[in-house]
């Protein structure tokens, strides 16, 4: 054997569960999660010798998620991710670190006949996901990230792109009036988990949307920083944030061959290729 | 040649466009559509002889969608589908019938700082699509369908499934309390297009949701009929409706091997296999 | 109740299974299927009254597929689809017709060290699927279709498109040399199932590919008919065939702004919009 | 402004192109690529001030890919990725590092009537992709990775899983005979690009497949290491390799409720949840 293991992890992905929490007044709370578990530890002999004596079966990981979901009311995914991560450190000596990532689907309550929130009927809010990731290691270090995926936004005014570098292969025209559309992915690190993580998540999301809508964009890069700044302002417990903003281009159609003008009225919506803008933003030392 | 053409159509699919309509008060209306065009007609010699003299290139169809979108403000997809369908009947002698299908993405206005609807910033409402389909033929017959795709709903109470047939391969337990989840696809035929098709669409969608939430379901089949009835009640111009309700099962986890009960608290969310319930519902003769 | 049921079916979709058939010489045959079942029959009272007494649970359908797969070696999907369809007619009085659709994934044997076909190790052949659909009704009528999905082919020569109609919105240039790419979907109806359906399927697929590669294409429409003709020629039991050929455009890049020519060398590969060509082709009466 | 940029990159993703290289003998070579470009550099003022004067528009990146594809025959994606990466270092002072990632679709030549390889007609080999990634920085460091995605393999014998840890939530049975199925993702770092990178890629892929088929698997972890070792043995220029092997479970169906046995004959094919095994493997110091 000339090969040597430099790094290895294993786990279970896409453990999907739905939990219902029934209140005394007949109201049900619903949570739908997809959980990924990834373990680091003393598992090398499984790779080198097929010796599984230190291996927790990934099937057991799946069972564990369901069993822990029964024993803990899932209110905030950040807390449940910690519960799951700690379980594997506690239950298995070979584990040196456990990372638990959760994606939560959104469900909005329907209305009942009187217009009040319905106690047990829901409609999906779409592809957007609330995310959480917890990494806990045997030394007691716990890192908690919140986040969101697939928050799709678009503005039809107050976005431009001018003054960029021109070279032999540049054909793009400058514009002070374009459509900007993107699907926001954001992951932020908490210095401490807020007292109400759901309220914090909602405040961050609202701050991002307000920043997106309210500023004059000179570049997607600038928009990213404005949204990151809004996040830091909205939640004191956020130490830093990584955002990814694909530029989902809407291209102005050239209608001049058909003797028609097109004063920013009709655009082709495209999926590919797309611009990809990403940055990690932290707080200034003071 | 021993082969004979029995039926043929051709067209362009997935023509995606974004239109912006600018009001004098600075408010922008946004429409995002994906348009499919399908032509029937005297195109046989293209198949048999490679003679394209009667063929409208599908590239021309794409251009036509963009050009017509410039010349008509897109308010209702039912109307725009008719505009496009009629164009091809008018412009091309070989066409005997044109079918235009549109899927419209949902965008909700964001709020501005004061909480009022934002004039030009939007957030996606998810995977749900409003649909319209118009078929127009040279004899003057025009058939208009409205519809929706991917309206995902779930209820955690007032759903059961009992009394079904049992045979050698039946293992499912009867239940009076289960989760019901589905992704509604519905297509309804209009006898006449309502004066305000968007208001009609919204009323139908609301009626479906109210029916879904408000009734005691004994079977997905029954729920389908209740929702179809609600549609007919909500809109006098709907002659009939076809609905498809996949049963997106949430399976109760058996936690007894782990000495835990599970009183309808933790479920596995599954994608496959899924039940598939479909029906076409019309009005009773009176 | 003002609504009336005009048509209804229900069933189970995406029942996925893997079967292994072990030969005495140590060779294993592998089949991977996804099965859809759709029943027609006397199920109206489930819709109208929530009376499920005539309803076969879709969970039972799933179990039935697995149980029948245990009791029949799956060699040809056409035969297994018939077995499943007939089961539901036999087992359930309320059923008037059963339709069973199967999609089969492709797996190719790997080689062993000596280059011979490996007895039990396989590699996926991709997204292409062999399909079969059987509809059997209580009157004894059985209709069998074979087919394939997602056979993706491309040719870089001997394809053109000229002589098409030009109107106000036409901007496409004529070409005698373009790339033609498509993903073939084909469904053919058998008058009688061939003695060896797998051999028939392979012969049809090979005939389609040879026809695609070997002819000079003047239009995708013409290519479709050439491939359909080849199918009819390859298999006497095929009565008619429906083919769908999306035109997956490869667009020549205009490099002239960069002082470069582009003699059919560099193309943009696009997914949307796409042309959509479809036809049903039968045999000439003789 | 309390926010500070900690890290940032931007670029263009999913630049799809098809190239045709025409040989004198009438044979055409086809390449289909999807290219991602990511730049690091002195772009901070675009984020902080909307100053784009150092920004290469991502639209220019797209044009550049097409223009470079015209000026270089694409034989190996590793070489083309280097060409593109170096271009941005050369053309733009602000760039400190460029990373170019390419995914290449597979096309196999069809046969002509005589059974010989067809000069210009091809069939897709499926979802598997050959990948390459090059990162080049201003200091002259160039890192080249080869790889492959979505190589889907399955074996029906010589795979087991026993001796794993059991705890309160373990219900999985030990087995010495199961189906193992996975979709291989592998990325390997070259110390030097081989003289014939396509031959190296093919040799590595063949070595992986032979190793997968030929060994007795005691764990997916062990299989991973065996395949990694085979890669290192097959290509002297590979310094290290990272592999990801999702365990795409085939679950034995319990047919005992139906009075049927199931001697490893019928399995449920599942997509989720799935096990996830990953490791990076290097060469032993000698």
- Band (pLDDT 50/70/90 cuts) for residue B198 is very high
Write out chain A residues lying below 8 Å of B123, CB-based: 151-154, 209
The closest of A243, A212, A33, C272 to B124, measured between CA atoms, is A212
CA atoms within 13 A on the CB side of C208: 29
Predicted confidence (pLDDT) at residue A29 exceeds the cutoff of 90: yes
Write out chain A residues lying below 8 Å of D242, CB-based: 7
d(CA D205, CA A268): 40
d(CA B16, CA B75): 16
Q: Do A59 and D6 touch (CB under 8 A)?
A: no
Q: Do B274 and C14 touch (CB under 8 A)?
A: yes
Give 3-state DSSP helix, strand, coil % of chain A, rounded to 5.
25, 45, 30
Helix/strand/coil for A114: coil
Looking at the complex, report in whole angstroms how far the Cα of residue B268 sits from the nearest Cα belonging to chain A: 5
The set of chains that have 3 or more CB pairs under 8 A with A is: B, C, D
The closest of B250, B269, B254, D251 to A16, measured between CA atoms, is B269
Structural contact between residues B220 and B180, judged by C-beta atoms closer than 8 angstroms: yes
Q: Which residues of B163-191 are buried (b: 16+ CB within 10 A; e: fewer)?
A: bbbeeebbeeeeeeebbbbbbbbbbbbbe
Q: Do A168 and C271 touch (CB under 8 A)?
A: no
Structural contact between residues D42 and D56, judged by C-beta atoms closer than 8 angstroms: no
Average pLDDT along chain B: 97
The closest of A107, A114, A133, A233 to A186, measured between CA atoms, is A133
Helix/strand/coil for B185: strand
Structural contact between residues A251 and A267, judged by C-beta atoms closer than 8 angstroms: yes
pLDDT at site C236: 97
Structural contact between residues D62 and D12, judged by C-beta atoms closer than 8 angstroms: yes
The residue-averaged pLDDT of D180-207 equals 98
Question: Hey, what are A97's tokens?
Answer: 């670190």
Question: Hey, what are C60's tokens?
Answer: 């039972």
Question: Hey, what are A116's tokens?
Answer: 């009040």
Predicted confidence (pLDDT) at residue D285 exceeds the cutoff of 90: no
Looking at the complex, report in whole angstroms how far the Cα of residue D243 sits from the nearest Cα belonging to chain B: 28
The set of chains that have 3 or more CB pairs under 8 A with B is: A, C, D
- Band (pLDDT 50/70/90 cuts) for residue B1 is low
Write out chain B residues lying below 8 Å of A122, CB-based: 153-156
d(CA A3, CA D230): 9
d(CA C212, CA D118): 11
Q: Do B126 and A125 touch (CB under 8 A)?
A: yes
pLDDT at site C113: 84
Write out chain A residues lying below 8 Å of C272, CB-based: 271
Structural contact between residues B176 and C64, judged by C-beta atoms closer than 8 angstroms: no
Question: What separation, in Å, do the N-terminal and C-terminal C-alpha atoms of chain A show?
Answer: 54
Best mutation target, B166, B167, B168, B255, to test chain D (most D CBs within 10 A)? B168
d(CA C159, CA C180): 6
Q: Do A14 and D274 touch (CB under 8 A)?
A: yes
Write out chain B residues lying below 8 Å of D168, CB-based: 258
Q: How far is CA A9 from CA A35, A95, C78, C188, D276, in A?
A: 16, 10, 44, 48, 8
Q: Which residue in chain D is spatially nearest to B269 when comparing CA positions?
A: D272
Active site residues of A: 12, 58, 249
Looking at the complex, report in whole angstroms how far the Cα of residue A4 sits from the nearest Cα belonging to chain C: 25
- Please tell me which of the candidates A16, A56, A222 has its beta carbon nearest to residue D272: A16
- Please tell me which of the candidates B112, B213, B253 has its beta carbon nearest to residue A112: B213
d(CA C233, CA D84): 49
Question: Hey, what are B126's tokens?
Answer: 């998810």
Structural contact between residues C100 and C36, judged by C-beta atoms closer than 8 angstroms: yes
Catalytic residue among B87, B145, B201, B249: B249
Structural contact between residues A168 and A122, judged by C-beta atoms closer than 8 angstroms: no
Predicted confidence (pLDDT) at residue D188 exceeds the cutoff of 80: yes
d(CA B269, CA D194): 47
Dihedral sign, Cα of residue A95, residue A101, residue A107, residue A108: positive
Question: What separation, in Å, do the N-terminal and C-terminal C-alpha atoms of chain B show?
Answer: 54
d(CA B237, CA B180): 30
Q: Which residue in chain B is spatially nearest to A128 when comparing CA positions?
A: B126
Structural contact between residues D246 and D276, judged by C-beta atoms closer than 8 angstroms: yes
Q: Do C267 and D212 touch (CB under 8 A)?
A: no
- Band (pLDDT 50/70/90 cuts) for residue B286 is low
pLDDT at site C1: 61
What's C152-174 look like in SS3?
EEEECCCECECCCECCCCCCCCC
Q: Which residue in chain D is spatially nearest to B270 when comparing CA positions?
A: D272
The residue-averaged pLDDT of D87-91 equals 97
Looking at the complex, report in whole angstroms how far the Cα of residue A113 sits from the nearest Cα belonging to chain D: 38
Write out chain C residues lying below 8 Å of A258, CB-based: 168-169, 171
Going residue by residue through chain C, which has 286 residues, state the pLDDT in tens, using 9 for 90 and above: 679 999 999 999 999 999 999 999 999 999 999 999 999 999 999 999 999 999 999 999 999 999 999 999 999 999 999 999 999 999 999 999 999 999 999 999 999 888 899 999 999 999 999 999 999 999 999 999 999 999 999 999 999 999 999 999 999 999 999 999 999 999 999 999 999 999 999 999 999 999 999 999 999 999 999 999 999 999 999 999 999 999 999 999 999 999 999 999 999 999 999 999 999 999 987 6
The residue-averaged pLDDT of A106-117 equals 93
Q: Which residue in chain C is spatially nearest to A258 when comparing CA positions?
A: C169
Structural contact between residues D220 and D247, judged by C-beta atoms closer than 8 angstroms: yes
- Band (pLDDT 50/70/90 cuts) for residue A148 is very high
Q: What are phi and psi of B242, to 5 degrees?
A: -110, 125
Enter the DSSP assignment of C152.
E
Write out chain A residues lying below 8 Å of B63, CB-based: 257-258
Q: Give this complex's ipTM.
A: 0.96
The residue-averaged pLDDT of B103-114 equals 95
Q: Do A272 and D14 touch (CB under 8 A)?
A: yes
The residue-averaged pLDDT of B78-96 equals 97
The closest of C72, C56, C213, C208 to C146, measured between CA atoms, is C208
CB atoms within 10 A of CB A236: 12
Helix/strand/coil for C209: helix
d(CA B231, CA B280): 12
Please provide the DSSP assignment of B36-91 as one string: EEEEEES-HHHHHH---TTPBPHHHHHHHHHHHHHHS--S-HHHHHHHHHHHHHHH
d(CA D76, CA D79): 5
Q: Do D107 and C154 touch (CB under 8 A)?
A: yes
Q: Which residue has the tokens 């080198």?
A: A48
Looking at the complex, report in whole angstroms how far the Cα of residue D29 sits from the nearest Cα belonging to chain A: 24
B230 contacts: CB under 8 Å, gap ≥ 6? B207, B208, B210, B211
Structural contact between residues B62 and B105, judged by C-beta atoms closer than 8 angstroms: no
Q: How far is CA A138 from CA A80, A97, C216, D285, in A?
A: 18, 6, 68, 30
- Band (pLDDT 50/70/90 cuts) for residue A205 is very high
Q: What are phi and psi of C112, to 5 degrees?
A: -90, -175
Question: Hey, what are B59's tokens?
Answer: 């590239």
Q: What are phi and psi of B75, to 5 degrees?
A: -105, -50
Structural contact between residues D251 and C18, judged by C-beta atoms closer than 8 angstroms: no
d(CA D261, CA A34): 34
- Please tell me which of the candidates B1, B15, B281 has its beta carbon nearest to residue C5: B281
Write out chain D residues lying below 8 Å of C66, CB-based: 253, 255, 266, 268
pLDDT at site C285: 77
d(CA B125, CA B119): 17
Omega before A273 within 30 of 0, i.e. cis: yes
The set of chains that have 3 or more CB pairs under 8 A with C is: A, B, D
pLDDT at site A255: 98
Residue B249 annotated as catalytic: yes
The set of chains that have 3 or more CB pairs under 8 A with D is: A, B, C
Question: Hey, what are C88's tokens?
Answer: 């539901």
Average pLDDT along chain A: 97
- Please tell me which of the candidates D56, D280, D281 has its beta carbon nearest to residue A165: D56
Question: Hey, what are C129's tokens?
Answer: 């699927």
Write out chain D residues lying below 8 Å of B272, CB-based: 271
Catalytic residue among C12, C87, C145, C201: C12
The closest of C51, C56, C144, C38 to C94, measured between CA atoms, is C56
Q: Do D126 and C121 touch (CB under 8 A)?
A: no
Residue-wise pLDDT for B215-259, tens only, equals 999 999 999 999 999 999 999 999 999 999 999 999 999 999 999
Best mutation target, A125, A251, A260, A266, to test chain B (most B CBs within 10 A)? A266
d(CA C150, CA C277): 15
Structural contact between residues A30 and A59, judged by C-beta atoms closer than 8 angstroms: no
Write out chain A residues lying below 8 Å of B19, CB-based: 265-267
Looking at the complex, report in whole angstroms how far the Cα of residue D5 sits from the nearest Cα belonging to chain A: 5
Active site residues of D: 12, 58, 249
Q: Do D169 and B271 touch (CB under 8 A)?
A: no
The closest of D76, C35, C224 to B50, measured between CA atoms, is C224
The residue-averaged pLDDT of B191-198 equals 97
d(CA D275, CA D273): 7
Structural contact between residues C250 and C181, judged by C-beta atoms closer than 8 angstroms: yes
Average pLDDT along chain D: 97
Helix (H) or strand (E) holding A223: helix A220-234
pLDDT at site D62: 98
Catalytic residue among C19, C58, C96, C244: C58
Q: Which residues of A187-217 are buried (b: 16+ CB within 10 A; e: fewer)?
A: bbbbeebbeebeebbebbbebbbbbbbbbeb
The closest of C235, C237, C249 to C277, measured between CA atoms, is C249
Residue-wise pLDDT for D223-281, tens only, equals 999 999 999 999 999 999 999 999 999 999 999 999 999 999 999 999 999 999 999 99
Question: Hey, what are A227's tokens?
Answer: 């949204």
């Amino acid at each position: 054997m000339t090969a040597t293991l430099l790094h290895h992890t294993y786990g279970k992905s896409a453990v999907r569960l739905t939990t219902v929490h029934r209140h005394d007044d007949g109201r049900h709370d619903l949570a739908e999660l997809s959980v990924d578990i990834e373990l680091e530890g003393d598992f090398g002999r499984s790779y080198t010798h097929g010796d599984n004596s230190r291996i927790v079966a990934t099937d057991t990981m799946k069972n564990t998620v369901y069993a822990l979901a029964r024993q803990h009311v899932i209110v905030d995914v950040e807390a449940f991710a910690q519960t799951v991560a700690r379980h594997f450190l506690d239950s298995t000596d070979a584990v040196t670190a456990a990372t638990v990532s959760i994606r939560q689907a959104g469900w909005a309550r329907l209305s009942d006949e009187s217009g009040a929130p319905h106690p047990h009927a829901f409609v999906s809010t779409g592809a957007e996901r609330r995310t959480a990731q917890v990494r806990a290691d045997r030394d007691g270090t716990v890192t908690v990230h919140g986040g969101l995926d697939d928050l799709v936004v678009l503005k039809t005014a107050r976005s431009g792109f001018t003054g960029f570098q021109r070279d032999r292969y540049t054909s793009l025209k400058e514009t002070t009036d374009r459509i900007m559309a993107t699907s926001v992915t954001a992951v932020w690190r908490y210095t401490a988990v807020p007292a109400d993580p759901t309220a914090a998540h909602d405040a961050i999301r609202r701050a991002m949307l307000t920043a997106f809508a309210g500023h004059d964009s000179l570049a997607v890069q600038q928009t990213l920083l404005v949204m990151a700044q809004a996040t830091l302002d909205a939640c004191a417990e956020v130490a830093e944030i990584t955002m990814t903003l694909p530029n989902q281009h809407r291209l102005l159609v050239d209608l001049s061959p058909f003797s028609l003008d097109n004063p920013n009225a009709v655009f082709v919506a495209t999926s590919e290729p797309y611009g990809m803008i990403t940055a990690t933003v932290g707080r200034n030392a003071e």
